[in-house]
Amino acid sequence: MTDHAPQSPAPGTEFSVAADSESAGPTATTVEDFRTNLAAVRARLEAAAAACGRDASGIRLLPVSKTVPEERLRAAFAAGITEMGENKVQEAKRKSENLAELGIRWALIGHLQTNKAKDAAVFADEFHALDSMRLAEALDRRLQAVGRGLDVYVQVNSSGEESKFGLEPDEVPGFLEQVRACSSLRVRGLMTLAAHTQDTERVRECFRLMRELRDAGLQAGTVGDGQLSMGMSGDFELAIEGGSTCVRVGQAIFGARQYGYDHYWPEGQPRA
């Protein structure tokens, strides 16, 4: 396993959480725009990794393309973006069908209702928001029916915010034991959305909790290769400091979305 143990950032490098209004890069439409934004995000990722003594090659950048229309996804693909994260199954399925010839790898990263497991099973390459046995069993059944497997990340509510999906931290060890029975699901690790605040200590605390749960899962042999899917446009440097192995980045690559965070987390407040 790669060394995920984070160090404090080097002196003079203090990471912070961006306000929502400052999380987005310029809107990318052309291939050139995407190259520019992608290079800027990669530079941030590499700087964050270097600052806490991590090898950037152990940190995956998952571009999040939700709400972005297909024409722009073609440009993104031409700029080298070959995997995309989506948080609504219907939108993701439509995109996967209409862009099928590109061979994009689709990651479902948002809450999935059990009755949508069938849709997800036919096209998703990975799923980052597994949060109940009912859903795990529904996915397993549907995957077996179509002869597919699925990489999954178990979502944890690390912030205690009511608007967040995910298992409560104390439910995680038992869930990981139980989900072993679903043979089509390959558990790769854990996923979270940190507290939606600019208070860096609170955000750090979420990532620290995730690392502890992951380490316990590695000890128990229940958490696959122990990946940690955490960090988004506004907080991915802190997530890297906290041991993230997969940052899910939308607005810093694609540009500001039409809908703000309150569209996805209705009870949440914006990061001021």
Ligand X SMILES: *Cc1c(COP(=O)(O)O)cnc(C)c1O
Contacting positions for ligand X (CB under 6 A): 23, 64, 66, 87, 109-110, 193, 232-234, 248-252, 264
Of residues 10 and 19, the one with the C-beta less far from ligand X = 19
Secondary structure of 103-144 in HEC code, one letter for each residue: CCEEEECCCCCHHHHHHHHHHCCEEEEECCHHHHHHHHHHHH
Of residues 156 and 252, the one with the C-beta less far from ligand X = 252
Of residues 182 and 193, the one with the C-beta less far from ligand X = 193
Kindly tell me the burial class for residue 220, based on how many C-beta atoms sit within 10 Å of its own C-beta (0-12, 13-18, 19 or more): exposed
Nearest-approach distance from CB 27 to ligand X, in angstroms = 12
Residue closest to 189 by CA, chosen among 160, 150, 148, 218 = 218
Nearest-approach distance from CB 102 to ligand X, in angstroms = 21
Nearest-approach distance from CB 131 to ligand X, in angstroms = 12
Of residues 64 and 213, the one with the C-beta less far from ligand X = 64
Q: How is residue 84 written in tokens?
A: 């995309």
Of residues 105 and 180, the one with the C-beta less far from ligand X = 105
Nearest-approach distance from CB 11 to ligand X, in angstroms = 28
Nearest-approach distance from CB 230 to ligand X, in angstroms = 9
Distance CA 254, CA 24 (A): 8
The helix/strand/coil state of 56 is: helix
Residues paired with 63 in a beta bridge: 249
Nearest-approach distance from CB 181 to ligand X, in angstroms = 26
Of residues 1 and 251, the one with the C-beta less far from ligand X = 251
Q: Which residues contact 92 (CB under 8 A, 6 or more apart)?
A: 86, 106, 108, 123, 124
Question: What φ, ψ does residue 123 adopt, rounded to 5°?
Answer: -135, -25
Question: What φ, ψ does residue 200 adopt, rounded to 5°?
Answer: -60, -35
Question: What φ, ψ does residue 271 adopt, rounded to 5°?
Answer: -75, 110
Nearest-approach distance from CB 121 to ligand X, in angstroms = 20
Of residues 224 and 250, the one with the C-beta less far from ligand X = 250
Kindly tell me the burial class for residue 191, based on how many C-beta atoms sit within 10 Å of its own C-beta (0-12, 13-18, 19 or more): buried
Residue with smallest beta-carbon separation from ligand X: 250
